[in-house]
C-alpha cells in the first residue's frame, strides 16, 4: 500500500514502494489527489503496465541533444552541419522542455514558424529528422521508457521543387573565364566536376596516389562506399595539367574556398542561380545523354537508389528529340 502523509507546508506526499519497481513519490495539494495518483500507479504495477517515465520527464531536449551529439553526431560524415542544427534546437524555447513534454503540436508550431521566416522546406525537414532520430536513439539505444516519437505524428512540409538548373554552353564559357582570373585551379575543378560527377568533398580530397590509370579510387565517400570513378580523356588531361604537389594532393583548394570562389565567378560572369553542386547534376545528366545505362551511371556517381539518381538527372530535351528522329 502507498503511504500518504501531510507535509509541514500543508501539501500531501504519496510514497509507493513495491518489490520489483523503483520507489516513487509525488506531492499534491490535496489528500484526495495523492490517493488517486497512488491508486493509479499501484494499479498499473499490479497489471504489469507500469512504465517508469522519470528519466523521460527529467531529461530536457537540450540535455538529450548534448548526449546525441557526443555519441551519434560525431560519428557522421555530416557532423558539422548537424552540430549547427543541434545548437539551434538547444538554444530554442523547446530546449528546456523534457523529452516527455515535447508534443507534435510544438513541432508543428516550429515547422510553421520556420517556413514563415523563409527557411527552405529541406532545411526544416532536416531539422525535424534530427529530432525524430534523437527519439529513436533515446527509445532503442538509451532505453528511456515512456517515450513516443512526436515527429511520427507530424505532417512534414512538402519537399521543395527539385532543381533542374543546367548551365548553357555560353554560361559555362563565361564562368570558366571568370574562374581562371580568381584561382588557376578553379576552372579545372569545375570541369572535372562535370566530367566525373564527383561531389565537391570527393574531388578536393583526391590525391595523386588515388589516380589509377583511367580511373580514380575513392576510398571515403559520403555514403561510406568505396567507389571507382572512370576518368575521361578530358578529365585525365586536366589532372595532368596541374603541377604535382609535395603533399600528394591533386588540388590545393579547400572545399569551402571552392564554393566561395564559384559564387564570385558566377557574379563576375553574370550567371544567376547556379551552385557548385549543380556541376554534379550537369555531369550526371551528360552521362545519360552519352547513352550510359542507369546501373552504369549509378556506379560512377555513387547514387544508391533510382529516386536519388533522378533528382540530379534532367536530360536535355533537344538531345532526346534528336534520338526520336
Q: What is the pTM of this model?
A: 0.60
pLDDT tens readout for residues 96-106: 998 988 888 99
Distance CA 85, CA 131 (A): 10
Whether residue 43 is predicted with pLDDT greater than 60 in this model: the reply is: yes
C-alpha cell recorded at residue 306: 533510382
The catalytic residue among 13, 133, 215, 277 is: 277
CA atoms within a 13 Å half-sphere pointing along the CA-CB vector of 269 = 27
Q: Please state whether beta strands 215-218 and 3-6 pair in parallel, antiparallel, or not at all (unpaired).
A: unpaired
What mean pLDDT comes out for the span 144-154? Answer: 84
At residue 281, the 3 state secondary structure works out as: helix
Beta-bridge partners for 94: none
Quick check: 25 pLDDT over 90?
Answer: no
Q: Are 96 and 106 in contact (CB under 8 A)?
A: no
What percentage of the chain reaches a pLDDT higher than 90?
44
Active-site residue, from 68, 110, 261, 312:
312
* Pair 284, 199: CB distance under 8 Å: no
**Cell match 571552392: residue?**
258
Contacting residues for 132 by C-beta, under 8 A, at least 6 apart: 149, 151, 152
Residue 277 designated active-site:
yes
Per-residue confidence (pLDDT) for residue 174, from 0 to 100? 96
Q: How far apart are the first and last CA of the chain?
A: 87
Per-residue model confidence (pLDDT) at position 135: 93
Q: Quote the CA–CA distance of 272 and 263 in Å, as a whole number.
A: 9
Write down the catalytic residue from 199, 200, 281, 286: 199
303 is catalytic: yes
CA angle 159, 163, 164 (to 5 degrees): 140
Catalytic residue among 114, 280, 281, 286: 280
Question: Which three cell numbers mark 249?
Answer: 594532393
Q: What integer is the mean pLDDT of 219-241?
A: 84
**Residue 208 falls in the annotated catalytic set:** no
Respond yes or no: is residue 199 known to be catalytic: yes
- Residue 239: which pLDDT band, with cuts at 50, 70 and 90? very high
Average pLDDT over residues 132-138: 94
Q: What is the pLDDT of residues 159-214, one digit of tens each?
A: 655 667 889 999 999 999 999 999 999 999 999 999 999 989 889 989 999 998 89
pLDDT of residue 132: 94
Question: Quick one: angle between helices 294-301 and 278-289, nearest 10?
Answer: 150
What is the SS3 assignment for 217?
strand
Residue 82 in contact with residue 73, Cβ under 8 Å?
Answer: yes
Joined together, the cell numbers standing for residue 296 give 552504369
Q: Which of 13-27, 238-252, 262-276, 281-295 is predicted least confidently?
A: 13-27
Q: Choose the catalytic residue: 76, 212, 222, 310.
A: 222
Catalytic residue among 85, 227, 281, 303: 303
| SS3 of residue 211 by DSSP | strand
Buried residues in 277-310 as b, exposed as e (16+ CB within 10 A): bbbbbbbbbbbbeeeeeeeebbebbbbeeeeebe
Amino acid at each position: 500500500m502507498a503511504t500518504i502523509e501531510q507535509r509541514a507546508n500543508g501539501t500531501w506526499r504519496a510514497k509507493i514502494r513495491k518489490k520489483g519497481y523503483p520507489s516513487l513519490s509525488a506531492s499534491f495539494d490535496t489528500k484526495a489527489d495523492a490517493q488517486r495518483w497512488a491508486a493509479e500507479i499501484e494499479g498499473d504495477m499490479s497489471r504489469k503496465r507500469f512504465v517508469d517515465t522519470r528519466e523521460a520527464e527529467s531529461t530536457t531536449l537540450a540535455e538529450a541533444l548534448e548526449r546525441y551529439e557526443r555519441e551519434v553526431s560525431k560519428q557522421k560524415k555530416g557532423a558539422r552541419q548537424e552540430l549547427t542544427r543541434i545548437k539551434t534546437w538547444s538554444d530554442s524555447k523547446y530546449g528546456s522542455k523534457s523529452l516527455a513534454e515535447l508534443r507534435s503540436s510544438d513541432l508543428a508550431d516550429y515547422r510553421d514558424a520556420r517556413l514563415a521566416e523563409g527557411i527552405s522546406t529541406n532545411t526544416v525537414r532536416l531539422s525535424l529528422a534530427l529530432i525524430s532520430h534523437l527519439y529513436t536513439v533515446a527509445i532503442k539505444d538509451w532505453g528511456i521508457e515512456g517515450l513516443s516519437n512526436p515527429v511520427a505524428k507530424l505532417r512534414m512540409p512538402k519537399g521543395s521543387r527539385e532543381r533542374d538548373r543546367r548551365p548553357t554552353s555560353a554560361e559555362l564559357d563565361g564562368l570558366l573565364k571568370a574562374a581562371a582570373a580568381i584561382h588557376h585551379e578553379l576552372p579545372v575543378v569545375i570541369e572535372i566536376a562535370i566530367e566525373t560527377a564527383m561531389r565537391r568533398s570527393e574531388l578536393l580530397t583526391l590525391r595523386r596516389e588515388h589516380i589509377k590509370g583511367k580511373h580514380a579510387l575513392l576510398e571515403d565517400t559520403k555514403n561510406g562506399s568505396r567507389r571507382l570513378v572512370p576518368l575521361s580523356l578530358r578529365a585525365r588531361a586536366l589532372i595532368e595539367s596541374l603541377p604535382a604537389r609535395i603533399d600528394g594532393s591533386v588540388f590545393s583548394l579547400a572545399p569551402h574556398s571552392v564554393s566561395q570562389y564559384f559564387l564570385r565567378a558566377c557574379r563576375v560572369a553574370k550567371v544567376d542561380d547556379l551552385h557548385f553542386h549543380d556541376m554534379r547534376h550537369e555531369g550526371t545528366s551528360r552521362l545519360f545523354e552519352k547513352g550510359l545505362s542507369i546501373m552504369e551511371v549509378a556506379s560512377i556517381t555513387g547514387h544508391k537508389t533510382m529516386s536519388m539518381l533522378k533528382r540530379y538527372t534532367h536530360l536535355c530535351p533537344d538531345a532526346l528529340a534528336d534520338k526520336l528522329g
